Structure 1
Amino acid sequence: MAVKAIELNLESDDLVFYSGQRVKGALIVQISLPIIIAGIEVRFRGAARAKWNESVQNGTHRTDIEHEKEEIYFDDRFCLWGKVSSSNRWETRETLQRGRHAFPFQYRVPGAIPCSFEGPDAHVRYTVQGIIVRYDGEHITTRKLITVLREFDPRRDHPDKLAIPPEQPLEDQAERAISSVCCRPGRVSCSLALYKRAFVPGETLRADIHVQNSSFRKSGLVSVQLKQMLMYGGVHTRTLLLSDIKVTDSLRPGQSRQWKDYPLRLPSTCPSKLFMCKVLDIKYCIAIEATFPDAVLYAAVPITIATVPEQAYCPVKWVYKVNERPIQQNGDTYDSFIHGCSTNADMEFRPKYKFYEDMKDIRKDREIVLRLRQSPGVKRRREKGKISGPQKPAVVRMLPDERTHFNSYA
């Protein structure tokens, strides 16, 4: 073939862009022999698609109906070489000479679009495609999938909904009576409580867990879970298990256990809100699942996945991390599809999301300074009356390894 290679070179190495940002790059074409073509173009496309099945019962007959919904955010094509008429028809025959050719381009990603997402039978996907348009035969194309992100800070939009007073935690509980053959029924229960609603990927969530086994039978596994709930087309719901951590193997009859601030680090995942998307809706919850004989207790509380941490935390180090595959259940698999075609590259594509590898809690440093100002020496002198009235504390500079020493006197 005359075309030895065709590829897209984008300036961003991680292929992550934000809505409103410019995508800059070039279409590289290597030709071994002169070739006559109509022209060269680049195409930018963004769309959301989802499909789901619905069972309709009509008397004794049940019919399975397959639904599919698509929403296109943009589909723009630009001529890089050649001439196109006002009716979008190629008017020229161009000869592309032997050698390496570069066709630069730039494109501004539209604003008010949802971020990239890949799920079972659904996706929000953005592509850049380079095309050598031929008069005879199929066009020669290459394509790259990119990640488009959008910052999501729910505290800015709905600060009142995210505020949870310490005396009123966000909690849920489940309780049930378990009968026995020769003994009276016993009650089992589990509860889950959070003192915070919004988190960012990479942040450690801490939950209060309480499980009580007042029955005469030994319990099974107790685990804490992070679940992602997908709503397709506003009518069909699907739940994915993102994290499943074992809390304890079992509880003895009559045993009650409580875990304070049980940690769960949130994986790299899509934010809770897909802006302007009518095809998909995403929600998250933290759940506690306790297995008992003949019963499974389940309690869950909703959380919000944001991209901007709260003001008490200072991001020290963050990266764009590929989202982790959810734990598939019941033999579920991903069905990757895209408008027009589906390739192995599409099936392997996973978006990259903002992931905080390290965050500094500013409140801890603030507490250290406050404790230092109330040093025991000042307190003793005040009690003896040697100091009348409050005095301005001296400015003290501390090295990181000195803080443990000062804390011991607080």
Structure 2
Amino acid sequence: MGLKDCQIIFDNPYNTYYVGQTVNGKVEVTLDSPKKIRGILIKFKGQAGVQWVIEESKTNNEGKTENERIELVGDEEYFRIQYYCLGGKDNDAIELPPGKHIYPFTCVLPPTLPSSFEGQYGHVRYTVKVILDRPWKFDHETKVAFTVLSPYDLNMNPSLKEPVKITLEKYFCCCWCKSGPLTCVIAIPKSGYVPGEMLPILAEVDNISNVDVLNVSFQFQKVVSYHSQFPRRETKKDVHILERVQVGPVAARDSKTWNQNMALPPLPPSNLMNCSIIDLDYELLIEVNVSGFHTNLTSKIPITIGTVPVIAAPTAPPISGDNVAVNMDPQHNNTPQLGWVGPQKGRLYPSIPSESEFGTQSIYDKDDNQYTRFNSNAQRYSPMYPVYDFSSTQTQQN
């Protein structure tokens, strides 16, 4: 058989790095018999891609209308680094004895990379591939993904610290009569947040009308815009509801006030800076649902997601295997901790659910135009985004 196993192991157990950091790791090749190779090639790659299909009606030469399927695509490459950690393409064959062989690798990430992202119609991915270059035979390949984060300091934009307040008002008509207004005031303390933070919502409903309010709904949404390049420039929007809460009802000629908190899940930072084919935005959708055949009241508040919270604190420390959950300011008990939040509130977990999971081991890779074998115990693409645990107990830093 020869090759028994080939694993890519990062020095960071979360496979997550900030731009500008150095990615270090090792390749572990296990053989059960001697094997001849020309070398071991390491390939680092960062790229983005979008793809979707549309149908258009066209008239053929016979005057009949036909539906034509058009594939819209877009691609960007951010960096590509490759080198041999053993041997080389022009070298003579090397015979590796049975057993485990370890070869370290390293790569410095460029400082202008966009954050990793996985969506329904596109992605921003960073991968490392190990190729056992064999003379006159098919190469053995192993490929895994790692997450790259581009820091977004919310404190750099003063407007994100300002409170936001909107007022929705509507008059209802019944025959020749006009009722008093239905007024809904929504306020949030700021528009910039980090994952793991609570989004506090103040809602005041003053219903002087003769129409009942069924509920007031708040939806935290992710809005992704994909931009194709070929065969033409088009944009496709994809909206996902991430969190939803609602309050109410409010009877006619009644008033109520609520203070409602919404927990923000692990998310990539807004904008995907330095990526021109995918735009990422977040918003709070407010909808006042009323009874009868009347139109509901709706409005939106743009929300910005960053990696450094709106507090007087230094930039978030680099993620590493020994520094996953740290207090940013040991002098203040309410200072958040950087870490990975699991399903139970108040606890730090070593992993979080990914946006996209691929369990198969052999998948056709469009970038390389071939099938690629992946580690059996690793998901192909599983972005992991840092969050802040605002409920953690204060710990003393050494």
- TM-score, normalized by length of structure 2? 0.74
Larger radius of gyration: 1
Is contact 1:5-1:31 (8 Å) kept? yes
Question: Residue 196 of structure 2 aligns to which amino acid in structure 1?
Answer: G
Q: 2:201 maps to which residue?
A: 207
Q: How far has the Cα of 1:5 moved from its partner?
A: 0.8
Structure 2 CA distance, aligned partners of 1:53 and 1:255?
Answer: 50
2:225 to 225, 228, 231: 231
Q: Per-residue displacement from partner, 1:242-289 (whole Å, max 9, x unpaired)?
A: 1111223x22233332224x3222211111131211111111112222
1:339 corresponds in structure 2 to 367
Residue 348 of structure 2 corresponds to none
Matched residues in 2 for 1:325 and 1:172: separation? 34
Distance 2:174 2:340 in 1: 53
Deviation of 1:142 after TM superposition, in Å, equals 1.5
| Structure 2: distance between partners of 1:346 and 1:50 | 24
Q: Could you tell me which of 319, 341, 364 is aligned with 2:339?
A: 319
Q: Distance in 2 between matches of 1:347 and 1:66?
A: 27
Task: Give 1:310's aligned residue.
Answer: 310
CA contact (8 A) 1:26 1:102 kept: yes
Q: Distance in 2 between matches of 1:263 and 1:245?
A: 9
In the TM superposition, residue 186 of structure 1 has moved relative to its aligned partner by: 6.8
2:138 matched residue in structure 1 = 138
State the 1:155 CA deviation. 2.7
- 1:100 shift after superposition: 1.4
User: What secondary structure does 1:352 align onto?
Assistant: coil
Bigger mean CA offset, 16-25 vs 225-234: 225-234
1:80 is the counterpart of 2:85? yes
- 2:274 matched to 1:280? no
Match of 1:403 in 2: none
What displacement does 1:45 show?
Answer: 1.0
Given the superposition, is the C-alpha separation of residues 49 and 35 from structure 1 closer, same or farther in structure 2, using an over 3 Å criterion? same
- Please give the residue correspondences for 1:21-60 in structure 2 after superposition, counting only pairs within 5 Å: 21-54=21-54
Match of 2:389 among 338, 357, 362: 357
Aligned to 1:395: none
- CA drift of 1:345 comes to 8.3
Shift of 1:134: 2.0
Q: Determine helix, strand or coil for the equivalent of 1:162.
A: helix
Deviation (angstroms), 1:323: 6.0
Equivalent residues of 1:192, 1:287 under 8 A apart: no
Distance in 1, Cα, partners of 2:245 & 2:194: 19
Counterparts of 1:117 and 1:218, CA distance in 2: 42
Q: Distance between the aligned counterparts of 2:97 and 2:34, measured in 1?
A: 4
Residue matched to 1:65: 70
Distance 1:292 1:337 in 2: 50
Name the TM-score, length of structure 1 as normaliser.
0.72
Q: Where do residues 281-296 of structure 1 align in structure 2 (5 Å cutoff)?
A: 281-293=279-291, 294=293, 295-296=295-296
1:266 to 244, 247, 264: 264
* Higher mean C-alpha deviation, range 72-81 or range 343-352: 343-352
Root mean square deviation, CA, Å:
3.2
Matching residue of 1:251:
250
% same residue: 28
- CA 287–345 in structure 1, closer or farther in 2 if over 3 Å, else same: farther
- Rounded Cα–Cα distance in structure 1 between residues aligned with 2:379 and 2:174: 50
Tell me the secondary structure at the aligned position of residue 273 of structure 1. Answer: helix
Q: Give the letter for the 1:252 counterpart.
A: A
Counterpart residue number, 1:379: none
Q: Once the 2 structures are TM-superposed, how far is the Cα of residue 92 of structure 1 from its aligned partner?
A: 2.5
> Residues 323 and 52 of structure 1: is their aligned pair in 2 closer, same or farther, counting only changes over 3 Å?
farther
Question: Conserved in 2, the CA contact under 8 Å of 1:6 and 1:142?
Answer: yes
After TM superposition, list the pairs within 5 Å mapping 1:190-201 onto structure 2.
190-201=184-195
Shift of 1:103: 1.2
Correspondence 1:50-129 to 2 at 5 A: 50-54=50-54, 65-84=70-89, 90-129=90-129
Q: Distance in 1 between matches of 2:267 and 2:352?
A: 5
Mark the CA change 1:56 to 1:219 in structure 2 (over 3 Å): closer, same or farther.
farther
Q: CA deviation at 1:237?
A: 2.1
Partner of 2:325 in structure 1?
A: none
Q: Which runs of 5+ in 1 are unaligned?
A: 85-89, 327-335, 361-410
Larger RCO, structures 1/2 (Cα 8 Å, 6+ apart): 2
SS across alignment from 1:33 = coil
Q: Is the 8 A contact 1:220 1:251 kept in 2?
A: yes
SS in 2 for 1:308: coil
- C-alpha distance in 1, partners of 2:68/2:171? 39
Aligned length in residues: 338
Partner Cα separation in structure 1 for residue 153 and residue 287 of structure 2? 30
